[in-house]
Amino acid sequence: MIRCAAIQMASGPSVSSNLLEAEKLIVEAAKTGAKLVALPENFAMMGDREIDKIKIKEVDGTGPIQHFLSTVAKKYAVWIVGGTIPVAGDNENKVRAACLIYNEKGERVGRYDKNHLFDVNVPGTDEVYRESDSIERGDHTLVLDSPFGKLGFAVCYDLRFPEFFRKLVAQGMEILIIPSAFTEKTGSAHWEVLLRARAVENLCYVIAPNQGGFHLNGRKTYGHSMIIDPWGAVLDCYKTGAGFVSAELDLERLGKVRSAFPVLSHRRYNCD
């Protein structure tokens, strides 16, 4: 078994302040024995406007946020899943929402770009989001071999598209990591039920770090970062504010569940 952790933050517009907070929480999680630590979406900055992230975008492979992720991974000897950070793409007026993964030596071992962009009017509120105004969507999936098992990656709004996760399972995913910044309104209605559904239907562990609290831009995010087992049980949950959850993941148990309850092999239709 191996212990993993999900960090919860209420990030603001100051990158330096957010990185200090992130490192503090990574240290605390590492002290519990966590060997894999996942940060939430937009952990390095939640600006006043969506387009603010363009001002801090980094070239792939270099920049202060990427240096931070590599440094803390090596310093505390943990795998770091770097939530999302803004990385330059093809359009100079937009960024990629890139989830970067570093091993315990500080080496980058993977990158996943958010596929589904949150362009919605939240029902019952005056909240309007248009991520496509500032973000280029990704067009690939990522399942990564690790000492913890096969890691699959998604980001926030991806959670609502079950066919996406079937592709990850087909590539061998055992542990799903989904950094997020769910709104208070949508989170209270759908966050836990969607996470538990993904765990149950794919018979996988789910590690879900979320933004959680009031932000200086006036936004409120739902929090309730959690870790869920393949049977849909919530192993740990942190409701609001800065903190983290941690739990031991047992791949031997996961294998037994998949063997005894072989729902994945009973599928009759593909969604390609």
Tell me how far apart the alpha carbons of residues 161 and 115 are, in angstroms, rounded to a whole number.
Answer: 10
Residues classed as catalytic: 41, 114, 156
- How many C-beta atoms lie closer than 10 Å to residue 107's C-beta? 11
What is the model's pLDDT at position 271?
62
- How many C-beta atoms lie closer than 10 Å to residue 48's C-beta? 13
Give the predicted TM-score (pTM) of the model.
Answer: 0.97
pLDDT digits (tens, 9 = 90+) for 161-198: 999 999 999 999 999 999 999 999 999 999 999 999 99
What is the model's pLDDT at position 130?
93
The pLDDT confidence band at residue 44, using thresholds 50, 70 and 90, is: very high
* Assigned token pair, 217: 């831009």
Residue pair 179/155 in contact by the 8 Å Cβ criterion? yes
Q: Structural domain boundaries of the chain? A: 2-266
Residue pair 153/178 in contact by the 8 Å Cβ criterion? yes
Architecture, CATH, for domain 2-266: 4-Layer Sandwich (3.60)
What share of the chain in percent tops pLDDT 70? 99
Of 126 and 86, more confident: 86
252 burial class (0-12, 13-18, 19+ CB within 10 angstroms)?
A: exposed
The pLDDT confidence band at residue 49, using thresholds 50, 70 and 90, is: confident
Across the chain, what does the average pLDDT equal?
96
Which of 1-15, 121-135, 166-180 has the weakest average pLDDT? 121-135
